[in-house]
Structure 1
Amino acid sequence: MCYGKCAKCIGYHLLILAILCIVANILLYFPNGETKYAQENNLSRYVWFFHGIGGAGLVMLLPAFVFIGLEEEDCCGCCGNATCGKSCAMLGSVVAALIGVAGAGYCLIISALALVEGPWCLNNGNWDYPFANSNIYYLRDHSTWSQCVEPNNVVVWNVTLFSILLGLSAIQIILCLIQIINGLIGGICGACCCQEKSQSYVC
């Protein structure tokens, strides 16, 4: 079933993206590879939302594995017919895809909010969010990044990793939406084939 092969391909891509999101989120806890800022709780608030580890990472593993195993899944031969079983499995994958959209959507929203607010850093002797009211203009004006004295290069670190998470989660959403369409078409077409076979047996 070509729909199952398509789902399997999407599943493998989602698995890779989920691993990358987990890695990117973990790196946010260690600016420049230093652990003291996490221990002192001097990290941006959105780092603690686990959006890459949870939303686009662990949650995304569910639809990824469902899609990967979809080609061989037949719901134990639903209605006594393997083809009908595959149709049921394809329709069931839509639910998994919706879960994936929710997880990736959470990651995308948190990443966007983090980029708008900017990093938590030492500025003029105080820890605060120096770019919180800049309406993200700081992203274009690199000369303002020197306002953050500590952690060193924290603006580059946060902007890079949150942008990566934003991009990866957007790709995940697109792939899950493709699988929703693939699952619906595969399920409906499979159901129609099953119905035709049933009618032919009656004749």
Structure 2
Amino acid sequence: MCSGGCAKCLGIVLIPLAILCTVANIMLFFPGGYIPSDKVQITDEVWYFGGILGSGVLMIFPALVFLGLKNNDCCGCCGNESCGKRFAMFSSILFAAIGFAGAGYCFVISAVAIHKGPKCPTFLGWDYIFQDGSYLENHNLWNLCQPTSIVPWHLTLFCLLLIMSGVQAVLCAIQAINGLIGTICGDCKCCGCCGGNGTV
């Protein structure tokens, strides 16, 4: 497969993942599906915007770059018809690194949030009552947090962010390798190079 075509496929997958991560992060601002009366009820990790910034905004830029690689004009660079395409593939490595960092940030934030659990109402106000992660194995503890929808809401959305950011990180790593191959070998087709046979 052409390195540019591969990058385009990765970009197509990253766009909906970025949107879904953003939506999941926004939904976490409503613990248990309810509108909180005070922001103290919202889990601290939600305010780090792992899904909105890390796997959302930072992922849009690499995705758009990957989408445009296949149609990137590569002709007439320093007398070498393929060097424009090679430079574009090299730049995609840098954007892949940005995307990987954003996805990694979201992944770490989500993992921490899953381990700590959500904030729940206590006699002293809203606080963490599952900080040792025991609630992950003992579902009976979920009843300690009212309303009962808070824990599954928190766990489901952060697990989705964990999975989707992990997929994003893998896709960005694939593009980094693909970009390196494209930089060294060029794309399989480049403006009819070598007599139009598609060989660089």
Shift in alpha-carbon separation, 1:80–1:35, aligned structure 2, 3 A: farther
For 2:109, the equivalent position in structure 1 comes to 110
Under a length normalisation based on structure 2, what TM-score does the superposition of the two structures give? 0.88
- Structure 1 Cα separation of the partners of residues 77 and 95 of structure 2: 19
* SS of equivalent to 1:72: coil
Matched, 1:149 2:146: yes
For 2:34, the equivalent position in structure 1 comes to 34
- Structure 2 Cα separation of the partners of residues 61 and 13 of structure 1: 11
- Structure 2 Cα separation of the partners of residues 78 and 52 of structure 1: 39
Per the TM alignment, residue 66 of structure 1 is displaced from its structure 2 partner at its CA by: 0.2
1:39-188 correspondence to structure 2 within 5 Å: 39-74=38-73, 77-124=76-123, 126-132=125-131, 134=132, 136-150=133-147, 152-188=148-184
- Structure 2: segments with no counterpart, 5+ residues: 195-200
For 1:15, the equivalent position in structure 2 comes to 15
Shift in alpha-carbon separation, 1:189–1:154, aligned structure 2, 3 A: same
Shift in alpha-carbon separation, 1:124–1:184, aligned structure 2, 3 A: same
Per the TM alignment, residue 125 of structure 1 is displaced from its structure 2 partner at its CA by: 6.0
- Structure 1: segments with no counterpart, 5+ residues: 198-203
Q: Output one character per residue of 1:32-82: Cα deviation in whole Å (capped at 9) or x when no partner.
A: 432224x44311100100110000001100000000001111366432444
For 2:197, the equivalent position in structure 1 comes to none
Decide which moves more: 19-28 or 76-85.
Answer: 76-85
> Which structure dedicates a bigger proportion of its chain to helix?
1
Under a length normalisation based on structure 1, what TM-score does the superposition of the two structures give? 0.87
Q: What count of residue pairs does the alignment treat as equivalent?
A: 191
**Is the 1:44–1:119 contact (alpha carbons within 8 Å) kept by the matching residues of 2?**
yes
- Structure 2 Cα separation of the partners of residues 142 and 77 of structure 1: 64
Aligned identity (percent) is 52
- Structure 2 Cα separation of the partners of residues 83 and 123 of structure 1: 65
Aligned partner of 2:23: which letter? V
